[in-house]
Amino acid sequence: MLTWLGVISPFSKFESSVSNDIENKLRVEADAGDADKQNKLGTLLYTQAKRQNSDFSDAIYWFKNAAKQDLPL
């Protein structure tokens, strides 16, 4: 009943762990200079920051790195 009402989300832990795994994999390739992965990491971090009403500076950092390599946003 609590799950149905949205009080308890059985998927929140799963979603969080999958998101962290994806972020870590993207970060490795972004750090290596892959512009596409930098853009994808920026998008992921932007989405997380927007959802949490937090700082967008990490997302902007990766968007700028991708743009320096002429990757359009």
Rounded alpha-carbon distances, angstroms, from residue 65 to 28, 68, 69, 70: 14, 5, 7, 9
pLDDT more than 70, % of the chain:
73
Residue 7 has pLDDT above 80, yes or no: no
* Greater pLDDT, 45 or 73: 45
C-alpha angle with apex 40: 37 to 45, nearest 5 degrees? 120
Condensed to tens digits (0 to 9), the pLDDT of residues 44-58 reads: 999 999 989 999 999
Residue 16 has pLDDT above 80, yes or no: no
Q: Where are the domains of the chain?
A: 13-68
**Cα–Cα distance measured from residue 38 to residue 26, given in angstroms and rounded to the nearest whole number:** 7
pLDDT of residue 19: 77
Q: How would you classify residue 50: left for phi > 0, otherwise alpha for psi between -120 and 50, otherwise beta?
A: alpha
Does pTM surpass 0.95?
Answer: no
